Amino acid sequence: MELTLNEKKLLVVLGSMGSADAAVLAEKMDSRREAVVQYANLAGERGLVDVEKHVSRRYTPTEEGRAYIGKGLPERQLLESFGETIPMRDLQSHPLAKIAIGWMRKKGWIAIRDGVVQKTGATAPGPDEAAFARLGESGAIEDGVGVADLAKRGLVQEEEAVAYTVSITPRGRELLAGGLDLQEEAGTLTREQILSGSWKDLPLRRYDVTKLPKRAYPGKTHPYQRLIDEMRRVLLDMGFEEMAGGIVQSSFWNFDALFQPQDHPAREMQDTFFLGERWPLPAGYERVRDMHEHGGETSSTGWGGTWSAAKAEQCVLRTHTTSLSIQHLAQHPNPPVKAFCIGRVYRREAIDPTHLAEFEQLEGIVMDEGVNFRHLLGFLKEFYAKMGFEKVRFRPGYFPYTEPSVEPEVYVDGLGWVELGGAGIFRQEVTAPFGIEHPVLAWGLGISRVAMLRLGLRDLRQLYRSDVEWIREMPTYGGRR
């Protein structure tokens, strides 16, 4: 049994006294009463002492009560201020008359007839006066006859007093008889103790391992960033090159280069954030214009009509990272290309728990000789499996810049099949103007949806206006639901 030094000191004192009040012990031990109670409780848990708690009620005078101490209750003072009789009018001029006359009548000390006050003779002190007298002597009284009356009159107030009596048990005596080492304990190990070797004989204070430490919070990356980094690692592991680029894009790169017709609803101000700025068209933009107007050199008919260069110069906040993919391909038209990008994209949507005006999109492209639709499905299966979605299925889809297009669905426990992203092979109308001669497999997904599934979120806004507590509590590893 390892006792603290304080417990040992307590046992030594109790060895001579047997039993004592904690306040007395505190004086002997040169300590505070509260501290002694704490040591006693520790020793009590080991069965070395008994701690008895006494709760007692006592009464002390109120401010009004203090004013009467030594003089007696007001009715007694008033009674003694006159002889057998006194005219009521005269009595009323006494400063205590207001309180005292009522009490004198109530106690039957006086009778009033024809405006004259007459003593009845039955004026012996009652129990309340006796109690009040004791209060005057000792400053406080225990409960007893008459005290309740004083309390009711607001002359005394109740106080709760707690006392502890500590007694040594036979087991404590036994231990004490065996002798106690009263050497001081050390709280910390010092450099000097280590150097001198005195640590060998040093009684280091022991810690209670069942007590929780003070909670510390480390610096951490955002849970959503960790998910993004996980996806980046998956794609880097699969041999992809990472792309990055501007948030602001010309309509040319965001829409026209992707064969999105100029009257497409996505190009209206209801759906897309337009800016007042314009950006000059790149060299060779005429090939994109021709593709829109009549299909260029391909088997396409194009959209027909007249293509407007002015419309293509308008800047927008990118609605997808596909604008970066097509620019990357335009710069690297020769196979093979495997590239990906994770970046913020913008839609003109009112913000609510499941819709935001900005969110992250992931996009991957693969261009090589001989790649085909089966390979697109292969990449999708591989990527989703690495993200923890083992079951994937495919349905026909529609995206303006891919043909064929596919909508992948993943199976999520508790939710069933969930549509996650879109994919397809870039249309020749998209690739031909940039001299890209081989199929481009492309897929993308809004990863805030994955974050909702993985982080168990109900409100997407939590990702961008985060509660510090949420980030502090979300484990760095194993954040999966």
Tell which positions 319-378 bind another protein, by CB under 8 A: 335-338, 344, 346, 348-351, 357-358, 366, 368, 370-375, 377-378
Residue 265 interacts with another protein (CB under 8 A)?
A: yes
The distance of closest approach from Cβ of residue 330 to another protein in the complex, given in angstroms and rounded to an integer, is 14
**Which region among 121-129, 186-194, 197-205, 225-233 touches another protein (by CB under 8 A)?**
225-233
Residue with Cβ nearer another protein (161 or 236): 236
Distance (Å, whole) CA 142 – CA 145: 10
Distance (Å, whole) CA 157 – CA 173: 42
Residue 466 interacts with another protein (CB under 8 A)?
A: yes
Token duo for residue 27: 């004086």
Q: CA gyration radius for the chain? A: 46
Residue 462 interacts with another protein (CB under 8 A)?
A: no
**Which region among 31-39, 63-71, 240-248, 452-460 touches another protein (by CB under 8 A)?**
240-248
Give the C-alpha distances (Å, rounded to integers) separating 396 from 35, 408, 410, 419, 424. Answer: 77, 9, 15, 12, 10
Residue with Cβ nearer another protein (156 or 324): 324
Answer whether 243's CB lies under 8 Å from 361's CB. no
Token duo for residue 44: 């009590």
Does an H or E element contain 293, and which?
A: helix 285-294
User: Interface residues for another protein in 380-439 (CB under 8 A)?
Assistant: 380-382, 393-398, 400, 403-406, 419, 425, 427-429, 439
Using the Cα atoms of residue 139, residue 142, residue 146 and residue 149 in order, give the sign of their dihedral. Answer: positive
User: Interface residues for another protein in 32-51 (CB under 8 A)?
Assistant: none
**CA count, 13 A, side-chain hemisphere, 340:** 22
**Which region among 127-135, 150-158, 186-194, 247-255 touches another protein (by CB under 8 A)?**
247-255
Residue with Cβ nearer another protein (126 or 378): 378
Distance (Å, whole) CA 72 – CA 281: 106
The distance of closest approach from Cβ of residue 441 to another protein in the complex, given in angstroms and rounded to an integer, is 9
**Which region among 19-27, 158-166, 191-199, 465-473 touches another protein (by CB under 8 A)?**
465-473
The distance of closest approach from Cβ of residue 473 to another protein in the complex, given in angstroms and rounded to an integer, is 11
Answer whether 256's CB lies under 8 Å from 323's CB. no
Pairing of strands 241-242, 337-346: parallel
Nearest CA to 117 among 169, 173, 156, 78? 78
The distance of closest approach from Cβ of residue 471 to another protein in the complex, given in angstroms and rounded to an integer, is 6
Distance (Å, whole) CA 41 – CA 261: 83
Distance (Å, whole) CA 291 – CA 298: 8
Token duo for residue 81: 């201020």
User: Interface residues for another protein in 284-313 (CB under 8 A)?
Assistant: 295, 298-305
Residue with Cβ nearer another protein (58 or 232): 232
Strands (E), 331-415: 337-346, 358-367, 392-396, 402-412
Residue with Cβ nearer another protein (48 or 460): 460
The distance of closest approach from Cβ of residue 361 to another protein in the complex, given in angstroms and rounded to an integer, is 13
The distance of closest approach from Cβ of residue 407 to another protein in the complex, given in angstroms and rounded to an integer, is 8
Residue with Cβ nearer another protein (411 or 464): 464
Residue with Cβ nearer another protein (210 or 299): 299
Q: What angle do CA 380, 381, 386 make, to 5 degrees?
A: 100
Residue 150 interacts with another protein (CB under 8 A)?
A: no
Residue with Cβ nearer another protein (190 or 221): 221
Q: How many residues bind another protein (CB under 8 A)?
A: 99
**Which region among 97-105, 114-122, 150-158, 269-277 touches another protein (by CB under 8 A)?**
269-277
Out of 36, 91, 100, 249, which residue is the one contacting another protein (CB under 8 A)?
Answer: 249
Residue 246 interacts with another protein (CB under 8 A)?
A: yes
Distance (Å, whole) CA 458 – CA 447: 15
Answer whether 166's CB lies under 8 Å from 36's CB. yes
The distance of closest approach from Cβ of residue 216 to another protein in the complex, given in angstroms and rounded to an integer, is 10
Distance (Å, whole) CA 369 – CA 36: 85
Using the Cα atoms of residue 190, residue 192, residue 198 and residue 200 in order, give the sign of their dihedral. Answer: positive
Residue with Cβ nearer another protein (131 or 425): 425
Residue 258 interacts with another protein (CB under 8 A)?
A: no
